[in-house]
Amino acid sequence: MNNLLEIRDRIISVYTQYENFFVPAFRFLVSYLSLLYISSRIGYQEVLTGALPSLLIALICTLVPASAAAVILGLVMIIQLFSLALEAGLVALILFLVLCLLYFRFSPKDAMLIVMSPVCHAIGIPYVLPIAGGLVYGPVSAVASAIGVIMVSFMNFVHDNETTIGTTGGDEDAVTKFRFVVDGIAQNRTMIVTAAAVALVAVVVYAVRRLRIRYAWYIAVLAGAVVELIVLLVGDMLYAISISIGAAFLGVALSALIGCGITFFLFNLDYTRIENVQFEDDDYYYYVKAVPKNVYIAPRRTVKKINTSRHIRGGADAEDGAFGTFAEPGAEDATTGTWDRNE
């Protein structure tokens, strides 16, 4: 355990020292990967598709606040969908405005969850977002987590039905396609169940980690993972949604491990040294439970100097108590000289 604490403290020390470099680099990497994922699913506008345009847009997302970066990703999606079909672009624009109003009304501080959503879905761990949101932000992170699910599900729906949506026709065909896109969102049971699951997990994780119990954060991560699996299993049984239970179980397990890692760095307490403190003022008695943090204590090295000289300096505490300083015949002590107590 002490070795883990040492590694953690070194990582925190390096991060603190180079924070101004790590934070922009992380935001740039996440934004770039998210844009690449969007291009791979709905890359219908050549100007915005490719490594170089994604690189430039990711750089802009790094320079602006996280909430503005989420808006930029949304606008890129809308432009891409307008390039495919007017109907898909209109539905995306309406959905984008509704989600923006909902998001900025409740949780404008956790926009990185939205920016990270395409990346997490691409690598199969979308369930880490509500766990991390409940641990780091609060219950309103449920909104950002659900928005990320809706955004990715809409892209996947358009990608799977791009032939039907992209065909041209008359006004009646346009109305039919518009209704088809709307129904694809409103009747997407997989999206509804997954969005409900991540929203519920964020609330559960936040509620449990606020409890005054030992290992509250670790229990919150475990509770969130269990709730996630239960909701997905129940949704699969009731609505026959297209979710791979094996992949979901693996993704939830990996998300729980990442949640434990977040807890280790942010809320690592030593419950073996709990102190109960009581004090009072003029109006109240206070009973406080203090739980110290796990802190790495560097081992102290003590260096013993062994004098190999044959001079022996003594005094009242000398072993035999008879002599103060001994010296061999002919030896000279520059400080005290040599003397014999019996002289």
Domain ranges of the chain: 2-265, 305-343
> What is residue 79's predicted lDDT score, i.e. its pLDDT?
93
Q: Give residue 322's pLDDT.
A: 46
The residues of the chain scoring below 70 in pLDDT are 1-2, 106-108, 168-172, 270, 294-305, 307-343
pLDDT at position 332, please?
46
Give residue-wise pLDDT tens across range 260-281: 999 988 887 767 777 888 888 8
Q: What is the pLDDT of residues 59-72, one digit of tens each?
A: 999 999 988 999 99
3-state secondary structure the chain: CHHHHHHHHHHHHHHHHCHHHHHHHHHHHHHHHHHHHHHHHHCCCCCCCCHHHHHHHHHHHHHCCHHHHHHHHHHHHHHHHHHHCHHHHHHHHHHHHHHHHHHHHHCCCCCHHHHHHHHHHHCCCCCHHHHHHHHHCCCCHHHHHHHHHHHHHHHHHHHHCHHHHHCCCCHHHHHHHHHHHHHHHHCCHHHHHHHHHHHHHHHHHHHHHCCCCCCHHHHHHHHHHHHHHHHHHHHHHHHCCCCCHHHHHHHHHHHHHHHHHHHHHHCCECHHHCEEEEEECCCCEEEEEECCECCCCCCCCCCCCCCCCCCEECCCCCCCCCCCEECCCCCCCCCCCCCCCCC
pLDDT at 326 (0 to 100):
45
